[in-house]
Structure 1
Amino acid sequence: MKLRSSPPSPRLSPASPASPSRRRSERLSGAAVLLGVLAFCLSLCPGRAEADIYMYTDEQGVTHFSNRAAADPKFKLYLKSPERRGASRGSVTPSPPSDRSLDRFTRYDAWIRQAATLYQIPEELIRAVIKVESDYDPRAVSHAGAQGLMQLMPQTALRMQVRDAFDPREAIFGGTRYLRVLANVFNGDLDLTVAGYNAGEGAVMRYGGIPPYEETQAYVTRVRTYYARYRATRDATNASIEP
């Protein structure tokens, strides 16, 4: 998954073609993500519909999502999406014993790389989300109940097939899967994907952009800042230490 850094509105590009054997594996993963999206959308709180979700499956068996049909006739209406009023997850309070050792910044490298490859999300973006969400503390818990490295709410963890959000590997794969879902829904727009991770995709659809929540706006800025730092240096520890 590559990010175009030059345009003013950065986007996460679609997945590249894969071999037949890998495509078969991706179809299975795609089916899991599809079920995750369906469960996510159906579970949003009731309310007036603010945006629809469109979908089509290409010739390689890869499922694409969009929050607008645009001019492409391949996209068909998939689900009416109700609004999800601002759902702030609150600040993170690490659960004791909190891990403050510097090696935590590189401890999960292998799993981050694997998740990045599987879901074709930039490795640096995954690291940035982990940094901002939990500061690499696998036992972190927010006041609202978000858990683990990527601060998954219990319902989101369930949709993303995460059995234990405090398990670092499960948290990384579940959080990255959720980023993939959001990137598909928002046509690869980086800022909307990140905003959706914090505030929920319903809020992003409702406002037609980053919601006017102070927490979410600050969150997007912080994730973008660390994303740039991880891209600029291969030393994850140095990039993770607060400036």
Structure 2
Amino acid sequence: MARYAAQAILLGVTVAITTAAPAGAQTYRLAEHRAYSREIADAAARHAVPERLVWAVIRAESGFDPRAVSRQGARGLMQLMPETAAMLGVRDAFNPRENIDAGVRHLRALIERFRNDLRLAIAAYNAGERAVAAYGGVPPYPETREYVTQVLRFYGTPIELVEL
């Protein structure tokens, strides 16, 4: 166990799971991501989106890799598609501040569009709002269904930022 902890620290990754939380809840300590905590908190407050939801979406989308690029071409922490980024006025999708602000703004619009139904807003973030509207709910795409489940699970997981 100590060997894996040492490897994680060398990689700049510190994840501790504790089982002392009530009802078996897990606490993830994500020290390596504290660099984005201010951007996340600011964007969440500015756009009235729960901060924990922003953390959950970023965790599912990019695993906190600001240089992530998907096979479909989505970029950055919140995996903005080029068309979405352009629509939101993003100049550099790899800039964490720009990416987070635009991603949270987009998420806020989806939450409003789907009348505060987080399942539908999260599905639309992944599959597009047209797909959600066309199916009248979460589209039957396995990737989207897994994504919604994952984000909601992460959203319900206590996250604690710690200093190293």
TM-score by length of 1: 0.54
Q: What are the equivalent positions in structure 2 for 1:9-158 lying under 5 Å apart?
A: 101-102=12-13, 103-158=31-86
The answer for unaligned runs of 5 or more in structure 1 is 1-99, 238-243
Structure having the higher Rg: 1
Which one-letter code corresponds to 1:101 in the other structure?
Answer: G
Structure holding more helix per residue: 2
Structure 1 distance, partners of 2:97, 2:44, is 12
Deviation sequence 1:205-239 (CA, Å, 0-9, x none): 0000000000000000000010000xxx34147xx
Q: Which one-letter code corresponds to 2:123 in the other structure? A: A
Give the % identical residues. 50
Aligned length: 135
Higher strand share: 1
CA distance in 1, matches of 2:108, 2:89: 14
Does residue 1:164 correspond to 2:92, yes or no? Answer: yes
Cα distance change of structure 1 residues 236 and 196 upon mapping to structure 2, 3 Å threshold: farther
Extract structure 1 runs of 4+ deviating beyond 6 A. Answer: none
Distance 2:135 2:113 in 1: 15
Q: Structure 2 unaligned runs (5+)?
A: 1-10, 14-30
RMSD: 1.2
Task: Tell me if structure 2 keeps the 8 A contact 1:179–1:197.
Answer: yes
Matched, 1:235 2:160: yes
Tell whether the 8 Å contact from 1:104 to 1:136 is kept in structure 2 after alignment. Answer: no
Q: Say if 1:222 and 1:184 are closer, same or farther in 2 by CA, change over 3 A.
A: same
- Aligned residue for 2:59, secondary structure, equals helix
Q: Work out which of the residue numbers 119, 129, 135 in structure 2 matches 1:191.
A: 119
Following superposition, the deviation at residue 162 of structure 1 comes to 1.0
